[in-house]
Amino acid sequence: MSNIDFKKVHFDTRAIHAGYHRDSDYGALATPIYQTSTFTFTDSDNAMDVFSGKIPGYDYTRACNPTVTVFEEKMAELEGGEAAVAASSGMGAISSALLGLLKSGDHIVCGNTVYGCTDVVMREILPSLDIETTFVDTSDVDAVEAAIRDNTKVIYFETPANPTMTVTDIAAISALKNKHKGIRVIVDNTFNTPLVQRPLDFGADVVVHSVTKYLNGHGDVIGGVVVGTADDINVIRSRAMGKICGTPLTPFCAYMIIRGMKTLGLRVRRHCESAMTLANYLEASPYVEKVYYPGLKSMGKNYEIAKRQMNGMYTGMISFEMKDGINGMSAFDAAKNLMDNLTIPAIAVSLGDPDSLIQHPASMTHVKVPKEVQKEVGISDGMLRFSVGLEEAEDLIADFDQAFAAL
Ligand X SMILES: Cc1ncc(COP(=O)(O)O)c(C=O)c1O
HSE value, Cβ hemisphere, 13 Å, CA-based, for 35: 5
Instruction: Kindly state the smallest distance separating residue 209's Cβ from ligand X, in Å.
Output: 8
- C-beta separation of 161 from 119 below 8 A: no
As a whole number of angstroms, the longest Cα–Cα distance in the chain is 79
Q: Which is nearer to ligand X, 274 or 387 (CB)?
A: 387
Q: Which is nearer to ligand X, 68 or 334 (CB)?
A: 68
The only residue of 78, 91, 221, 279 in contact with ligand X, by rule CB under 6 A:
91
The only residue of 61, 65, 70, 90 in contact with ligand X, by rule CB under 6 A:
90
Instruction: Kindly state the smallest distance separating residue 115's Cβ from ligand X, in Å.
Output: 4
Point out the residue whose Cβ comes nearest to ligand X: 90
CA distances from 394 to 55, 210, 267, 344 (A): 56, 29, 17, 12
Query: Per DSSP, what are the bridge partners of residue 206?
Result: 186
Residues 213, 237, 267, 336: which is the catalytic one? 213
319 binds ligand X (CB under 6 A): no
184 catalytic? Reply is no
Integer Cα distance of 265 and 260 in angstroms: 10
162 binds ligand X (CB under 6 A): yes
Q: Taking CA 233 as the corner, what is the angle to CA 175 and CA 152, rounded to the nearest 5 degrees?
A: 40
Q: Identify which of 156, 138, 145 has the alpha carbon closest to the alpha carbon of residue 101.
A: 156
Instruction: Kindly state the smallest distance separating residue 184's Cβ from ligand X, in Å.
Output: 18
224 binds ligand X (CB under 6 A): yes
115 catalytic? Reply is yes
287 catalytic? Reply is no
96 binds ligand X (CB under 6 A): no
Residues 49, 58, 59, 62: which is the catalytic one? 62
222 binds ligand X (CB under 6 A): yes
190 binds ligand X (CB under 6 A): yes
Integer Cα distance of 321 and 302 in angstroms: 17
293 catalytic? Reply is no
Instruction: Kindly state the smallest distance separating residue 210's Cβ from ligand X, in Å.
Output: 3
Q: Which is nearer to ligand X, 109 or 225 (CB)?
A: 225
- C-beta separation of 233 from 97 below 8 A: no
Reduce the DSSP state of residue 102 to 3 states and report it.
coil
Integer Cα distance of 110 and 13 in angstroms: 35
83 binds ligand X (CB under 6 A): no
Q: Is the dihedral of CA 353, 359, 364, 369 positive or negative?
A: positive
Integer Cα distance of 189 and 85 in angstroms: 15
212 binds ligand X (CB under 6 A): yes
Tell me the per-residue interface mask from 138 to 157 with ligand X, x by CB under 6 A, - otherwise: --------------------
Q: Identify which of 165, 186, 198 has the alpha carbon closest to the alpha carbon of residue 279.
A: 165
188 binds ligand X (CB under 6 A): yes
The only residue of 158, 205, 333, 381 in contact with ligand X, by rule CB under 6 A:
158
Residues 119, 188, 205, 353: which is the catalytic one? 188
Where does residue 300 fall: left (phi above 0), alpha (psi -120 to 50 degrees), or beta otherwise? Answer: left
List residues near ligand X by CB under 6 A.
89-91, 115, 158, 162, 188, 190, 210, 212, 222, 224, 350
Active site members: 62, 115, 188, 213
